[in-house]
Amino acid sequence: NRTPRSSPFSSYRKLANKLLTRIARTQISHSHLLIRSRTMATTRIGTEDPRMSKIVIHNGIVYISGQTDGTTTDIKNQTANVLKKVDDLLAQANTDKSKLLTSSIWLKDISRDFKDMNDVWNGWVDPNNKPVRATVEANMAREQLLIEVQVTAATE
């Protein structure tokens, strides 16, 4: 009868198993941290309106409601007024337009107002930190509204 001899690789196998166990524990630990970091609180600001919040902040992202302006009848002034509202809401959320991620713009008459809206937008947007943007034509909730703008921004 022969007694089993240990293989020259058995010490390497033991070392490999120890390393794999440590790696697995580290991965579990890191995934736990990732899950914890993804469950941050949600903050809502400007909740007086029964339909919506003006601002929602979740996981470091600021979402603002669509902004409109019915105090003037031309697209350039409405756009400037709407972008001022956007600036004010971003400031309430402790961020600014340099941290914009997305922008959605709705125009009542895109063929008539796109160029003039863009003139105002281009003067307002941070040229070094432009968001992704979509602009479409849409029916507006009130006759005098020519534009609505909604953005998301990072807090950091």
The per-residue pLDDT for range 116-145, each reduced to its tens digit, is 999 999 999 999 999 999 999 999 999 999
Give 63's contacts (C-beta < 8 A, 6+ positions apart). Answer: 55, 56, 57, 152
- pLDDT category of residue 34 using cuts at 50, 70 and 90: very low
Q: What is the pTM of this model?
A: 0.74
Quick check: 154 pLDDT over 90? yes
Q: What percent of the chain has pLDDT over 90?
A: 73
